Structure 1
Amino acid sequence: MKIVVIGGTGLIGSKLVQQLTARGHEAVAASPNTGVNTLTGEGLAQALAGAQVVVDVANSPSFEDKAVLDFFETSGRNLLAAEAAAGVRHHVALSVVGTERLQASGYFRAKLAQEKLIKAAAIPYTIVHATQFLEFLAGIAQAGTEGQTVRLSPALVQPIASDDVASAMADAALGAPVNGTIEIAGPERFGLAALVQRYLAAVGDARTVVADATAPYFGVQLDDRSLTPGEAPRLGTITFETWMTQR
């Protein structure tokens, strides 16, 4: 089966292409690096010719409110139109647990706009909501840093390793469309501030993390429900300790 992975040269996309290929499928890595641009439409028709499934794991290069909304709306419209013309039978998209709850954030507003486009299109679909990636911990720490102090919310998170995300996306791509949303998460829950402190200590970073319930997380305040999944998500198998060891 031919499966086109939009964003196929990125963190999740490259792992997904490898997994699909190992399972015996023709996985095409589509990104600006390979001549496929969903913003301009360049290369889309050629990449999608003969494809049964498209998996969109691309992300915006800018998180500025207008730029990120323009990215997800423009690329979403172009991609879904090209899929309809090519006769694609299943659209799979990676989104974020908490998208609908964190609409004070421009990024989450843009992701919700992307999801609405998918649901309004005629192509059968599966939306995968993932929790925050373990690979984001360094960036989360940096975003909360003031001098040698990192100020972060103590709210619960359930982060997932990118390898587990890729496995879940591969299964979704090879399964039947659910015409709805499924959630995936890591096997462990932590307080965000405590987890980042543990991560920094493990990598020899001397910064100190301060738990502050009012500290913004990329522009929004968190509670224990904000970034955690609902009932019965698909759980990954890679724990924080295993992930650190693998690194």
Structure 2
Amino acid sequence: MKIAVAGGTGLTGRHVVEELEAAGHRPVVLARSRGVDLVTGAGLDAALAGVDATIDVSNVTTMKRAEAVSFFERAGRHLLDAAARAGVRHHVALSIVGIDRVSTGYYQGKLRQEEIVREGAVPWTVLRATQFHEFAEQILERVPGPIAVVPRLTVQPVAVREVAAALVALVAGEPQKAAPDLAGPRVESLPDMARRLVRTGTVRRRPVLPLWLPGPMAHGGLLPAGPGPRGTQTFEEWLAERRR
């Protein structure tokens, strides 16, 4: 199959492209560096010519609601409209477990993305996954200063490559609409993950101070609420890979 990957040069997208190639598919990368702009729609029609299916792992780095909603609204509409014109038979979008329970600006953008997928003309599957093992590092990168203030959250991190493999398996099958939530093998404390990451020496060494947050986010709102597939790589195994 010829399968287009929106955001194919990003953290998740690179793994999706590798998994597609390993499975014998022909990936088409949709990214600005390849002449395709999801936000404006430039280059999409040409890139999707002859494409059988699409996988959307595009992303924007922001916690602001207006920016997140604007990006996922515009990118999602342009991608799905072009996919419909190209006769794409299956669209798979990656989303996040708990975004309907935890209200943040970024998650509001992801919810809008899901709405656009459901409203679109292309048969679809949405896979919600928990945070990646890289989540603790991403939080640390956003926190300046001599002390890292990390939200006191309970998460169930999953390996990016396992999420990519799940997306590739889904896109090759029939549209499912909402697929079962994908999560990692173990529940973890985000501040503890940050401390263990700091101890590896692969990020800046500094004390980690847990910060309690009110609401669903602090009470398991990011954990899967029901049964579903579980990854195999633990956070500790992921750390061991970083140490090598």
CA distance in 2, matches of 1:173, 1:154: 35
Mapping 1:82-121, distance limit 5 Å? 82-103=82-103, 105-121=104-120
Q: Describe how 1:167-206 pairs up with structure 2 within 5 A.
A: 167-203=165-201, 205-206=204-205
| 4+ aligned runs moved over 6 Å, structure 1 | none
Q: Which moved more, 1:86-95 or 1:53-62?
A: 53-62
Any conservation in 1 of the 2:180–2:227 contact (CA below 8 Å)? Answer: no
| DSSP 3-state at the match of 1:127 | strand
String of CA shifts for 1:85-105, please: whole Å, max 9, x gaps.
1111111001111111122x1
Matched letter for residue 72 of structure 2: F
The aligned residue for residue 17 of structure 1 is 17
When normalised by structure 2's length, the TM-score is 0.92
| Contact 1:153-1:222 within 8 A present in 2 as well | no
Deviation at 1:15, TM superposition (A): 1.2
The answer on 1:163 being equivalent to 2:161 is yes
Q: Which residue of 1 aligns with 2:224?
A: 229
Residue 61 of structure 1: how far off its partner (Å): 4.5
SS of residue in 1 equivalent to 2:226 = coil
Amino acid at match of 2:34: T
CA spacing shift, 1:221–1:201, aligned 2, 3 Å: farther
The separation in 2 between residues aligned to 1:168 and 1:83, in whole angstroms, is 21
Aligned mates of 1:119, 1:207 — CA distance in 2: 44
What is aligned with 2:133?
A: 134
- Contact 1:126/1:182, CA 8 A, preserved across alignment: no
Asked if structure 2 preserves the Cα contact closer than 8 Å seen for 1:200 and 1:207, the reply is yes
User: CA–CA distance in 1 between the matches of 2:169 and 2:185?
Assistant: 18
TM-score of the superposed pair, with normalisation by structure 1: 0.91
1:245 corresponds to = 240
- What aligned pairs does 1:149-160 form with structure 2 within 5 A after superposition? 149-160=147-158
- Aligned residue type for 1:150: A
1:160 and 1:192 mapped to 2: Cα distance? 13
Q: CA deviation at 1:24?
A: 0.8
In structure 1, the partner of 2:70 is: 70
Q: How far apart are residue 141 of structure 1 and its match?
A: 2.2
Structure 2 distance, partners of 1:221, 1:152, is: 16
Cα distance in structure 1, aligned partners of 2:123 and 2:201 = 43
User: What is the CA distance between 1:131 and its match in structure 2?
Assistant: 0.9
Q: The residue matched to 2:174 in structure 1 has which SS?
A: coil
Q: Deviations over 1:47-77 (max 9, x none)?
A: 1111111000000244433222111101111
Moved more, 59-68 or 27-36: 59-68
Between the aligned partners of 2:198 and 2:192, the Cα distance in structure 1 is 10
Matches within 5 A, 1:38-77: 38-77=38-77
Letter in 2 for 1:117: I
Deviation at 1:34, TM superposition (A): 0.6
For residues 180 and 117 of structure 2, what CA distance do their matches in structure 1 show? 14
2:3 paired residue number: 3
Q: What is the count of residue pairs matched by the alignment?
A: 241
